[in-house]
Amino acid sequence: MLDSDAQCVIPTEDLQADIPFFTKTLKMRMDTIYPADDPKVAVFSGFGISICIDKDAQGSPANINLLVDAPEKFAGGKTELTAPNGTQFKILQKNPPLILPKTQHEFVVRRLVDQAPWIIGRAGMHYRDLIPNRLGGSIIASHIRIPDGGPVPDTVHYHTVGFQLIFCYRGWVDLVYEDQGEPFRLFAGNCVIQPPEIRHKVLYASDNIEVIEIGVPAEHVTTIDHHMELPTKNLNPEREFQGQKFVHNKAVESSWSDFRIPGFSCRDTTIAENTKNVAGVQVIKPNGNTIKSSKHDCDILFNFVMEGKMTLTASGQSPNELNPGDAFVIPPHLLTEYSNVSEDLELLEVSLPGKFKTYYET
């Protein structure tokens, strides 16, 4: 019998008609049936669930999802089934592959002053959407803050993603990651990537902590791990999670070099190298030289204004005056110009893929 302390109770008018559906079509096991002379109740188990079919039960038929390894081989390949008692079953892939939607390219400018109120999300964090249309579901960019510092009510969890970045914008936050040693403090200007399905937990935050979080795709599943304890006993910083390594990039240990657009310098976070070019993350500032208009062939190019001011002008568009907290997305092959940059301008650029070509206006 299934080792379960809970049952799903479903009404029926014809128990005898339900038995072959549950045992033969769904291949569940019948554990009990009673009374013997005129059965009114039968209990079936399988798929990690116990179902009690009861002729005296009240209520409506249930809707149940069955997770199987090969849906095409189950129940003749049908994805929806109806039991004689009216219960609706959907047959779903147990471990569905991650699907990355095709990017719907668009020029996007998101200003802090135009933004709607912050939304309260997971673990009481406040979220602000930086790409409202999410480029067809290909990416989500969030400005996240925790107004009151202290312990964060988080649990050990992981994300089913293709890429995920946490960049600390203001304040600091204490984090711990699977196989990466003891908890550490992520300071402003530093960042981490959370490789696919690495277990982690947010522990403690400063007052008014703000981070920029990038997730690919936009809709991805967060799963609670009720068994793993962090930190883990093993230390394995070189471990690959689906081809990506954990990165904790520290600004004080990074060097500056020429950026892909003349007129700017950048510090690379080594994320392109450690994700095998899935994505790249750089911090950009002006170097006093002449800035060239440019376009690129990158699939997704996201920027967030961390400090200072600038004007962003795209071909065929009115100029956009940008300030701290503003964000923009430049689609491929759109000629743009960064101008009127303040000396303290600092941008966060996230690209997918990490390496791509940039072309300059002749």
The proportion of the chain whose per-residue pLDDT surpasses 90, expressed as a percent, equals 86
Judgement on whether residues 192 and 153 belong to the same structural domain of the protein: yes
Judgement on whether residues 244 and 112 belong to the same structural domain of the protein: yes
Flag whether 1 is in a domain. no
Per-residue model confidence as pLDDT tens digits over 106-122: 999 999 988 667 887 76
Pairing of strands 346-352, 29-34: unpaired
Concatenating the DSSP letter of every residue in 224-243 gives E-SS--SS-S---TT-EETT
Judgement on whether residues 282 and 227 belong to the same structural domain of the protein: no
Judgement on whether residues 262 and 221 belong to the same structural domain of the protein: no
CATH of the domain at 12: 3.10.180.10
Residues 6+ apart with CB under 8 A from 36: none
Judgement on whether residues 246 and 259 belong to the same structural domain of the protein: no
For residue 99, pLDDT beyond 90: no
CATH of the domain at 117: 2.60.120.10
Flag whether 2 is in a domain. no
Judgement on whether residues 294 and 221 belong to the same structural domain of the protein: no
Judgement on whether residues 130 and 222 belong to the same structural domain of the protein: yes
| Angstrom distances, CA of residue 293 to CA of 13, 266, 283, 349, 358 | 73, 17, 19, 17, 10
Judgement on whether residues 281 and 333 belong to the same structural domain of the protein: yes
Flag whether 103 is in a domain. no
Q: Are 152 and 146 in contact (CB under 8 A)?
A: yes
**CA 251 to chain CA mean position, Å:** 24
Looking at residue 57, the DSSP 8-state letter turns out to be -
Domain boundary among 250, 283, 311: 250
Per-residue model confidence as pLDDT tens digits over 41-76: 999 999 989 999 999 999 888 999 999 999 999 999
| Angstrom distances, CA of residue 8 to CA of 32, 49, 51, 94, 153 | 14, 8, 5, 20, 31
For residue 96, pLDDT beyond 60: yes
Domain boundary among 221, 250, 279: 250
Flag whether 55 is in a domain. yes
Q: What are phi and psi of 139, to 5 degrees?
A: -155, 150
Flag whether 220 is in a domain. yes
Flag whether 98 is in a domain. no
Helix runs in 29-74, H state only: none
- The letter for the amino acid at 253 is E
Tell me the average pLDDT across 276-282: 98
Per-residue model confidence as pLDDT tens digits over 183-225: 999 999 999 999 999 999 999 999 999 999 999 999 998 999 9
| Angstrom distances, CA of residue 58 to CA of 11, 54, 61, 62, 182 | 6, 9, 9, 12, 53
Which 3 state secondary structure label does DSSP give 94? coil
The reported pLDDT for the residue numbered 12 is: 95
Flag whether 100 is in a domain. no
- How many domains, the chain? 3
Query: Which residue range forms the structural domain that includes residue 203?
Result: 108-250
The reported pLDDT for the residue numbered 126 is: 86
Judgement on whether residues 112 and 244 belong to the same structural domain of the protein: yes
- Alpha-carbon Rg for the chain, nearest whole angstrom, is 26
Flag whether 328 is in a domain. yes
Judgement on whether residues 266 and 285 belong to the same structural domain of the protein: yes
Query: Phi/psi zone of residue 179: left (φ > 0), alpha (ψ -120 to 50 degrees), beta?
Result: left
Query: Phi/psi zone of residue 342: left (φ > 0), alpha (ψ -120 to 50 degrees), beta?
Result: beta
CA distance 310 to 220: 33
Residues 6+ apart with CB under 8 A from 329: 106, 107, 108, 131, 135, 300, 301, 302, 303
Judgement on whether residues 260 and 350 belong to the same structural domain of the protein: yes
Judgement on whether residues 163 and 277 belong to the same structural domain of the protein: no
The reported pLDDT for the residue numbered 1 is: 46
Domain boundary among 215, 250, 285: 250
Per-residue model confidence as pLDDT tens digits over 312-347: 999 999 999 999 999 999 999 999 999 999 999 999
CA distance 302 to 235: 33
Concatenating the DSSP letter of every residue in 154-218 gives --SEEEE-SEEEEEEEESEEEEEETTS-S-EEEETT-EEE--TT--EEEEEE-TTEEEEEEEESS
